[in-house]
């Protein structure tokens, strides 16, 4: 009896193509579907629809499952690190802005100039208040 392609897919690891290992359905591996697709994302976009359509037929071996799991952990850790890095950068930029505003109060340098008169201001908010009270 000849095996159809759907049955054959269930007996092959869709990642390493091994047939001599215990296999698990890819959709039962935590985040396995997304991880596997990310690994194969170099494949043209047209493959995406076919990949997700046939996902119920795909299996993965225990070794590839572990790799996919580690990849998920790495991706999550990298995402978390990026978020933390941006918070640090934003905090640093905010501290720099506050320091620059403070230094201007001592130096008297006013980078914000009124478009209607010769007045200059140390802080932007002071220029806005000036415009509202004097020129409107």
Q: How confident is the model at residue 18 (pLDDT cuts 50, 70, 90)?
A: confident
Q: Examine residue 120 and state whether it is found in any structural domain, yes or no.
A: no
Structural domain count, the chain: 1
Q: What is the pTM of this model?
A: 0.42
**23 vs 88: CA distance, rounded Å:** 44
User: Which pLDDT score, from 0 to 100, does residue 1 have?
Assistant: 46
Residue 134 domain flag: no
Comparing 19 with 10, the larger pLDDT belongs to 19
Residues 6+ apart with CB under 8 A from 104: 110, 111, 122, 123
pLDDT in tens, 35-79: 665 555 555 555 556 555 666 667 778 787 777 777 777 777 888
CB count in 10 Å sphere of residue 115? 7
Lowest mean pLDDT across 16-20, 21-25, 36-40, 57-61? 36-40
| Residue 127 binned pLDDT confidence (cut-offs 50, 70, 90) | very high
The answer to whether residue 121 sits within a structural domain is: no
Question: Over the stretch 96-105, which tens digit does the pLDDT of each residue have?
Answer: 888 888 888 8
In a domain, 33, yes or no: yes
- Beta carbons within 10 angstroms of residue 43's beta carbon: 12
User: How far is it, in rounded angstroms, from Cα 68 to Cα 38?
Assistant: 10
Sign of CA dihedral 8, 12, 14, 17: negative
How long a stretch of residues is the chain?
136
Domain with 29, as residue range(s), is 5-98
Beta bridge partners of 112: 121
DSSP state of 104: H
Residue (of 96, 103, 94, 95) closest to 122 by Cα position: 103
**Mean pLDDT of the 6-35 span:** 72
In a domain, residue 87? The reply is yes
Residue 127 covered by a domain: no
128 pLDDT band, cuts 50/70/90, is very high
């Amino acid at each position: 009896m000849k095996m159809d392609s759907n049955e054959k897919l269930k007996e092959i690891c869709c990642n390493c193509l091994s047939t001599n290992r215990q296999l698990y359905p890819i959709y039962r591996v935590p985040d396995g579907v997304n991880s596997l697709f990310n690994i194969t994302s170099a494949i043209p976009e047209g493959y995406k629809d076919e990949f997700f359509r046939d996902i119920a037929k795909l299996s993965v071996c225990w070794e590839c499952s572990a790799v996919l799991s580690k990849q998920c952990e790495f991706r999550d850790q990298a995402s978390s690190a990026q978020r933390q890095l941006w918070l640090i950068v934003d905090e640093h930029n905010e501290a720099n802005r506050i320091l620059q505003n403070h230094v201007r109060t001592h130096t008297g340098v006013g980078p914000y100039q009124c478009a209607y008169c010769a007045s200059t201001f140390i802080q932007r908010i002071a220029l806005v208040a000036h415009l509202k009270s004097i020129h409107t």
